[in-house]
Structure 1
Amino acid sequence: MSLWNVTNAPDYQDDEGTYTAQAISTTQGSLAPYTYWYDHPPLGWIQLGALAWIPRLLGFDSGTEIGNMRYVMSIFFVANSVFVFLIARRLQIRMVFSVLAVALFCLSPLSLVLGRQVFLDNVGTPWLLLAFYLALSPRLALWTHVGAALCFAAAVLSKETLAIFGPALLIALIHRSKWITRAFSVVGFLTVGALALSSYPLIALLRGELLAGSGHVSLQDALAYQFFSRSGSGALWEQGSGRAQLVAGWMYYDKYLIVAGLVAAVIALFRQRSRWIATGLTLFLLPIVLGTGYLPTMYVIAAIPLLVLAIAVAADILWTAARRAGPSGSMLRRTVSLFTATSMVGGLLVMALPQWFEQDATLLASQNNSDWYSALEWTKTNVPRNETLLAPYSMWQDLRSNGWNGPWEVVALEKMDLDSAVAVHHPHGWREIQWVIEGPTVKPNIRYLNLTNAGLALDHSTIVQSFGAWHIRKVVTNQEAAPLPGPDGAQP
């Protein structure tokens, strides 16, 4: 199901365009098409770039770069499904409930909508699940625990927010009764994990970009922006806040999975080997409930496998309790078992499936990106290749692949203001832009990021062609060009 209608729904997002462009850049020898400013560790899009050839090899060529990258995401979706099943079996969950966990993961509208989009969380989550699978190995071998550390580091270096599940992974590792080599395993896990994670600041150090300084980007500045300077999403209990709206959006797609999974996590506490699931979901919830900082849409992705595993564990616990009611073979035991099975299956059928069927059917049949494709085709056909475009990241890579070869011939919206190199390539700023591709996110991003230069280009343009919410605009200016200040504030 992750492949069905994948290029048509949901809408292409700017983040998807960003990671697609960065992934393709890695195949050309650089970490990003523009200045790499340590917004995220690069391992996530390095993996995407390494796998980008697979869709065309298998005949899944959408004709667009961002569409093909969605096909790549199906590899990670399948990997997540496999690891959900393997972890369920490693937790000694009955086969029927292990299969139920996979079915919930694959059919949930929340999982399908987010799982097919080019988000780094989707890349990191299989590594996180593999780390849990290795940590739960019954062999108690040192190599499995070192492997778990390496996989966890790969997850965090794919998307740094996955670090929040670290304590849950440690609990999964040490949940058993004492074993002789416990100390070696824990030390090996922590040491190897820390060494692997240190590769990220080491890269910044070797590039001379670890600490803030004039004339260059730095890991310090990037961390300061992410944790302190970036606009927050408000409090969960604040009416109309971005955080409240985001959680409402998750609930819209699948309130049954979220609520049932959180309740099931409490039941999972009654079984020692599954307590890490409750820990992981608690750690996931804390920033949502207590935080006010920026909360991304894709934050929930890594929690979905834990939610379905919690449900499978709870179902297994309840079934086991029901099977123990009364003497073996008694009418009471059969009645309780039948009631338990009917309640679990009936509750799923009555509540979740109607909503799931409706939302999944919509997702698998919608043509959300038809206007995007029309705008792309019109631009390719009608805009001269020697004229400069300003475009949102969701279309940027596909324009660049169709004749605008340089990153400053078709300029990503945010880079017009946020990359200091614009003063070198376009010293007269917005007046050197001839066309603006306006998608539904352009005006909100100009306001949110205070993109003055991009905003002026938009304000001084007129619509030439429209396709729904997508507009191709021609910049019109008779004003004498004044060069922009250089990166150091001096006139070039």
Structure 2
Amino acid sequence: MSLWNVTNAPDYQDDEGTYTAQAISTTQGSLAPYTYWYDHPPLGWIQLGALAWIQRLFGFDSGTEIGNMRYVMSIFFVVNSVLIFLIARRLRIRMAFSLLAVALGCLSPLSLVLGRQVFLDNIGTPWLLLAFYLALSPRLSLWLHVGAGLCFAVAVLSKETLAIFGPALLIALLHRSQWRTRAFSLVGFLTVGALTLSFYPLVALLRGELLAGAGHVSLQDALVYQFFSRSGSGNLWEQGSGRAQLVDGWMYYDKYLIVAGLVAAVIALFRQRSRWLSAGIALFVLPVVLGTGYLPTMYVIAAIPLLVLAIAMAADILWSAARRVGPSGSVLRRTVSGLTAASMVGGLLVMALPQWFEQDATLLASQNNSDWYLALEWTKTNVPRSETVLTPYSMWQDLRSSGWNGPWQVIALEKMDLDSAVAVHHPHGWQEVQWVIEGPTVKPNIKFLNLTNAGLTLDHSRIVQSFGAWHIRKVITSQEAPPVPAHDGVQP
């Protein structure tokens, strides 16, 4: 499922282009094609770059860099599914319900849409699940618990927002009665996890970029931006806020999985061995409901495995309760068991499956990126390699690998304003750019990020070719005809 039509739907996103470019840079000896800024730890795209050879080994080639990275993401999707099953069995969930958890994780439109995209959360989530799997081992082995700490640290270094599930992992580790080496396991888990996490600030320290200072980026500046300066998503209860719209988007793709998972998290409290699931889901929900800071679209990715496991556990609990009603073999027990089974199957067939079938069928047959491909091919065919192009990150790596010389010959949109190196390579700013590739995200990003230089480039350009929402624009110098303002959207 994760490979079917993967390069055609959903739309290529700028974040995907960013991580694709950074992954390819790691194979060439650098952390990023531009100045590395500490917005995320680099381990996520380092893994992506290290696995890029696998899609070539199996003969998958979309003809584009970003498309090929989506093939690589299918590895993490499959590993996620395997770990969901293994954790379910480790929780002693019945086989049928364990397989149900895998099916929910694979077939949910929310999982399929987000799980096939080149997002760091998709890379970190398998490591998080592996940490839970090791922590739940019945062997109570010190080395398994040390491994859980290591895997959790790798998950956080792949995507830092996964740190929110740390308390749930501790509950999973310590939920059993005291055992002889419990203190050693806890110390080993915390120590190895902390030491592994310390590599991130250590890298910044060795690069002279731990603390803020003149003339360089720093981890300190990045943390200040993420926690204090970055524009928030508003309040969930505020109509039209970014947070409310984002949650509405999640619900649009799969309200049944989300609602059923939240209800199941309450039922999972009735078994001690599954209370960590309730804790993990609560830790996911609290920032969504109570927070006002920035909430990324992909934040829900790591919660999907916990939601499907909670649903499987709740089904197992309800089935066990039904099987205990009345004497063994009695009509009452058979009736209650039959009604319970019919309710589970009926709920799935009547509510979830019709929506899933429609949305999955659309996803697996759509050609969302056809205009993107046409714009890319037109640009590669018609724009001279000696001229400078400004483009969204979703197309940046594919243009750069098509003959343009270096990252400042074909420039990612945000870097025109946010990377100080632009003043070195293009001291006259927008006037040194000849072409602009305008995708659906260009104008919103210029407005949201206040990209003055990129905005001027767009304003001093006219459309020469369009493919749906994608426009190739020629920058007009002062010696040429007056420019067509970018906001009018009129084909000259």
Question: Which bracket does the TM-score occupy, shorter chain normalised?
Answer: over 0.9
Secondary structure class of the residue paired with 1:237: coil
- Partners of 2:272 and 2:100 in 1: CA distance: 21
- Partners of 1:167 and 1:345 in 2: CA distance: 34
* Letter of the 2:28 counterpart: Q
* Map of 1:285 onto structure 2: 285
* Map of 2:81 onto structure 1: 81
Could you tell me how far 1:89 is from its partner in structure 2? 0.1
* Map of 2:246 onto structure 1: 246
* Letter of the 1:209 counterpart: E
Q: Following superposition of structure 1 onto structure 2, how do residues 374-413 of structure 1 map, counting pairs within 5 Å?
A: 374-413=374-413
* Map of 1:336 onto structure 2: 336
Secondary structure class of the residue paired with 1:150: helix
- Partners of 1:152 and 1:357 in 2: CA distance: 35
Identity %: 89
* Map of 1:485 onto structure 2: none
| TM-score normalised by structure 1 residue count | 0.97
* Letter of the 1:233 counterpart: S
Report Cα offsets for 1:210-235 as digits up to 9, x if no partner.
Answer: 00000000000001111111111000
Could you tell me how far 1:479 is from its partner in structure 2? 6.5
* Map of 1:260 onto structure 2: 260
Secondary structure class of the residue paired with 1:357: helix
Could you tell me how far 1:54 is from its partner in structure 2? 1.1
- Partners of 2:454 and 2:265 in 1: CA distance: 47
Report Cα offsets for 1:427-461 as digits up to 9, x if no partner.
Answer: 11000000000000000000000000000000000
- Partners of 1:41 and 1:68 in 2: CA distance: 23
* Letter of the 2:432 counterpart: E
- Partners of 1:438 and 1:457 in 2: CA distance: 11
* Map of 1:347 onto structure 2: 347
* Map of 1:216 onto structure 2: 216
- Partners of 1:41 and 1:320 in 2: CA distance: 44
How many corresponding residue pairs? 480
* Map of 2:486 onto structure 1: none
Q: Following superposition of structure 1 onto structure 2, how do residues 434-445 of structure 1 map, counting pairs within 5 Å?
A: 434-445=434-445
Secondary structure class of the residue paired with 1:269: helix
- Partners of 1:405 and 1:448 in 2: CA distance: 29
- Partners of 1:315 and 1:205 in 2: CA distance: 50
- Partners of 1:459 and 1:164 in 2: CA distance: 42
* Letter of the 1:263 counterpart: V
Secondary structure class of the residue paired with 1:191: helix
Secondary structure class of the residue paired with 1:268: helix
* Map of 1:461 onto structure 2: 461
* Letter of the 2:104 counterpart: L
* Map of 2:485 onto structure 1: none
* Letter of the 2:90 counterpart: R
Secondary structure class of the residue paired with 1:472: strand
Could you tell me how far 1:405 is from its partner in structure 2? 2.9
Q: Following superposition of structure 1 onto structure 2, how do residues 86-485 of structure 1 map, counting pairs within 5 Å?
A: 86-478=86-478
Secondary structure class of the residue paired with 2:270: coil
- Partners of 2:285 and 2:189 in 1: CA distance: 25
Secondary structure class of the residue paired with 1:365: coil
Secondary structure class of the residue paired with 1:222: helix
- Partners of 1:345 and 1:176 in 2: CA distance: 33
* Letter of the 1:352 counterpart: A
| TM-score normalised by structure 2 residue count | 0.97
Secondary structure class of the residue paired with 2:281: helix
- Partners of 2:269 and 2:121 in 1: CA distance: 26
Report Cα offsets for 1:59-115 as digits up to 9, x if no partner.
Answer: 110000000000000000000000000000000000000000000000000000000
Could you tell me how far 1:264 is from its partner in structure 2? 0.3
Structure 1 portions without partners, runs of 5+ = 481-492
- Partners of 1:186 and 1:376 in 2: CA distance: 53
* Map of 1:486 onto structure 2: none
Could you tell me how far 1:39 is from its partner in structure 2? 0.7
